[in-house]
Amino acid sequence: MNTIPKSGINARMPLLPEKASITRVIQETPTVRTYRLVFDDPEMMAAFSFEPGQIGQMSILGAGESTFAISSPPSQKDYIQFSVMKTGVVTTAIHELSAGDRVAVRAPMGRPFPVSAWKGKDIVIAGGGIGMAPLRSLLMHLLDRRGDFGRIQAVYGARTPADLCFAGEREEWERRDDVEFIATVDSGHADWSGRVGVVPGVVESMSPPAANTVAVTCGPPVMIKYTLESLEKLGFAEDQIFTTLERRMKCGVGLCGRCNVGAKYVCTDGPVFSLRDLRALPDEL
Amino acid sequence: MRFIAEDAIPRLLEHLAGGGRTVWAPRVARDSVNTVLFAPWIAGEPVETGAYTHLSAKATLLPPTERLFGFSYLQTAGEERIELEPEEPEENHVLFGARVCDARALAALDALFFPAGGGFNDPGYAGRRSGLTVITLACTTCDSACFCSSFGKGPAETDGSDLILYPVANGFLAEPVTDAGSELVRLDLFQDSPLDKPELAVTDRIETAGLREKFIDLFSDIDLWRQVSEKCLSCGFCAYACPACHCFNIFDEMSGDREGERCRSWDSCMFYSYTLETSGHNPRPEIAHRYRNRIGHKFSYFPANRGEILCTGCGRCIRGCPAGVDIREVIRAVQER
């Protein structure tokens, strides 16, 4: 497995963030905004590298620090992107930010999707709600290396059409003929001509063959639960299925204690786990 | 062996504190009659070489609250920028009067905050730890809450200490463990002595064999965890008193609206809010879940990750628990299941 790359986190002072600035804010849905940012230190920005699935901590100094999946792909060298749902104290403060505002970032952290082990395989991606953020990074990364993989199928679901993020990217994925992409909503709308139905159902309807295929899912717990059931019904084995976990985190480097599930820390042993790894953990999600 | 007389201890402390060095020692807490805590020693003030400290010595390395860095928002030529000021690590020099249970917990904390093989270093911890001399008082007596004989060499453990002082009539026999300890016993304050080391305390014991796997087997036995945590108030005292508990919170404090500091403070997995997520979901909503995590971390998870039990048998969590929860009874209940 991968170890934490040292580039973005100060190994000598792991809790000290790097100064960064917001370059663009995109209103994705009524409650989700995407923030593009750059490190103020150009050398740090140039040296920054990560892999899809890794996470970062964004601070508003004075309000606090929160953990987010990096939603941009590694090939995007101009900025780092976090998509933030407004839910708590820090995310509400982040939603007040606009381009030019100063923040601080610690990234990357955690173990990424083991993409290099997926060469030559077919890939199925199933994302729901804000859980699509790390999968956006992953899907864009797979498309950057399109030749390395077989068939790529992706489903992205939200409650209503207004809750779907990444409008521009969705349009591109729908248009491309080297990825089978379906956006779906739990309940439609007069203007919605797309699919209506929950993510696990759509995954089943695509009936991806399990042989030589890897499935990746991230989203609300109930969606993950039923998607795992659907994938197992389709014949996927535990080590062919990957997901990313979320836990309340503070330090991000395996010291502060709170994100453990059994002996594993989501911040350093995860957030990416295979279903096999996950089932070996005590049931405390 | 070398010997130091009881009345030479103040002079030893003065020597240790020379050159402005900080010496942490057990002292009666301010405004208290019998609460003994580790605190920086002040010349002329007594130290308590015969008392148990109510809290462990970990505050010498991990203060209850510490500043990680300061920050300020500055306006220059109409443009806002941030200034970050990392805290200069403090240095400690001597921990005097630690008990074996305090000293051996340092190895566990070192493995996390100051790993010998590299990895992440915690600058606050590393600053206070590097160059720290640990002078340990061996225990010839114990109380009913002590259970350090359950682990390794028990009261005879030398791990984590530089010098061990064994109480004998009118003073202490001094046994160096490291070079720093050997250097100290060469001082004139110490004399050669024909005395033998005194008999050490024999404490209560718990059986820890097989606990790591047994815990995992019993993880889903929620009735057991509800039963053993029935009295627990979830107050978190046990974590604060523990020499090995080290979980922390991180938070920002503003002073005015242009500057502030990021701090960390002791935290406890016994608190409801410790794992509470913004969505309202809490993976450990019940006291039983949280107490199970406390036991799991000490006797199963940490041993799985680091090969060591994260409990040294100091008994402070037992002496101080306002509800009378006794971790030994919990372990016995687990072992008997």
Mean pLDDT (chain B) is 94
Cβ distance A102 to B267 less than 8 Å, yes or no, reads no
Q: Per the domain annotation, does A83 fall within a domain?
A: yes
pLDDT of A1 over the 60 cut: no
A157 assigned to some structural domain: yes
Please name the residue of chain A whose CA is at the shortest distance from the CA of residue B112: A255
Same domain, A141 and A233: yes
- Do residues B134 and B56 touch, judged by C-beta distance below 8 A? no
Predicted pLDDT of residue B79: 85
Which chain A residue lies closest to B282 (C-alpha atoms)? A285
Query: If contacts are CB pairs under 8 Å, which of residues 232-291 in chain B contact chain A?
Result: 246-252, 254, 257, 260, 262, 264, 267, 269, 274-279, 281, 283-284, 289
**What number of other Cβ atoms are within 10 A of residue A239's Cβ?**
11
Q: Is residue A252 part of a domain?
A: no
Question: Which residues, in sequence order, are bridge partners of residue A154?
Answer: A125, A181
Residue bearing the bigger pLDDT, A217 or A189: A217
Assess whether A91 and A161 both reside in one domain. Answer: no
Q: What does the pLDDT average to over A20-49?
A: 96
Instruction: Say if the ipTM goes beyond 0.90.
Output: yes
Q: Is the pLDDT of residue A7 over 70?
A: no
pLDDT greater than 50 at residue A5: no
pLDDT of A3 reads 41
Judgement on whether residues A143 and A26 belong to the same structural domain of the protein: no
Beta strand pairing call for A180-185 and A64-69: unpaired
Is position A183 within any domain? yes
pLDDT computed for residue A9 by the predictor: 65
Please indicate, yes or no, whether residues A130 and A238 belong to a single structural domain of this protein.
yes
Residues A93 and A150 in one domain: no
Beta strands in chain A (DSSP E): 18-27, 32-39, 55-60, 64-69, 80-85, 102-109, 122-128, 152-158, 180-185, 195-196, 213-218, 241-244, 260-261, 264-265, 272-274
Predicted confidence at residue A8, as pLDDT, reads: 55
The whole-angstrom distance between A31's CA and the closest CA on chain B is 13
Interface touch A250/B248, C-beta < 8 Å: yes
Domain termination site, one of A109, A131, A157: A109
Interface subset of A 242-261, CB within 8 angstroms of B: 246-248, 250-251, 253-258, 260-261
> Residue A258 — pLDDT band, cuts 50, 70, 90?
very high
**Predicted model pTM:** 0.93
Cα A267 from Cα A265, distance rounded (Å): 5
Nearest-neighbour CA in chain B from A178: distance (Å): 36
pLDDT in tens, B50-82: 888 999 999 999 999 999 999 999 988 888 899
**Candidates A255, A259, A265, A266, partner chain B, best to mutate (most B CBs within 10 A):** A255
Q: Is B195 on the interface with A (CB under 8 A)?
A: no
pLDDT tens track for A262-274 = 999 999 999 999 9
pLDDT reading at B32 higher than 90? no
Q: What is the CATH number of the domain that holds A74?
A: 2.40.30.10
**How far is it, in rounded angstroms, from Cα B186 to Cα B35?**
34
Q: Spell out which residues of chain A touch residue B80, defining contact as CB-CB under 8 Å.
A: 100-102
For residue A127, is it within any domain? yes
Domain count for chain A, please give it.
Answer: 2
pLDDT value for B33: 82
Paired with A157 in beta bridges are A128, A184
The confidence score (pLDDT) of residue A4 equals 39
- Sort out which chain A residues have CB atoms less than 8 A from B264's CB and list them: 15, 256
Mean pLDDT of B286-292: 98
Residue A153 in this model has a pLDDT that exceeds 90: yes
Q: Whole-number mean pLDDT of chain A?
A: 94
Collect all residues of chain A within an 8 Å Cβ-Cβ radius of residue B110. none
Domain membership flag for residue A256 = no
List the single best residue of A39, A260, A279 to mutate versus B (max B Cβ within 10 A).
A260
Assess B123–A contact: CB distance below 8 Å, yes or no.
yes
Find, in chain B, the residue whose alpha carbon is nearest to that of A4. Answer: B119
Claim to verify: residue A238 and residue A125 sit in the same structural domain = yes
Say if residue A164 is in the same domain as residue A191. yes
CB pairs A-B closer than 8 Å: 125
Judged by CB atoms closer than 8 Å, whether chains meet at B250 and A247 is answered as no
Q: What is the pLDDT of residue A285?
A: 84
Task: Provide the terminal-to-terminal Cα distance of chain B, rounded to the nearest Å.
Answer: 47
Note whether residue A274 is domain-resident: no
- A24 and A77 inside one domain: yes
CB A46 within 8 A of CB A100: no
Beta strands in chain B (DSSP E): 2-5, 23-28, 36-40, 65-76, 79-86, 94-99, 133-137, 163-168, 171-176, 190-192, 248-255, 259-266
One domain, residues A163 and A233? yes
CB < 8 Å to B84, chain A: 16-17, 19, 104
Q: Which residue of B has its CA nearest to A254?
A: B112
In the predicted model, is pLDDT for residue A216 greater than 50? Answer: yes
Co-location of A38 and A128 in the same domain = no
Cα–Cα nearest to B37, from B316, B318, B321:
B316
Nearest-angstrom CA–CA distance, B61 and B55:
13
Residue A37 confidence (pLDDT) above 50: yes
Is A196 inside a domain boundary? yes
A135 and A218, same domain (yes or no): yes
Q: Inspect the interface and report whether the beta carbons of A263 and B305 lie closer than 8 Å.
A: yes
CA-based nearest residue in chain A for residue B257: A62
Instruction: Find the CATH number of the domain harbouring A141.
Output: 3.40.50.80
Looking at the structure, do residues A121 and A105 belong to the same domain, yes or no? Answer: no
Q: Residue A37 sits in which domain range?
A: 18-109
How far is it, in rounded angstroms, from Cα B299 to Cα B111? 16
* Average pLDDT rounded to a whole number, residues A232-246: 96
Q: Give per-residue pLDDT as tens, B160-213.
A: 999 999 999 999 999 999 999 999 999 999 999 999 999 999 999 999 999 999
Kindly determine whether residue B250 and residue A258, on different chains, have CB atoms separated by under 8 Å.
Answer: no
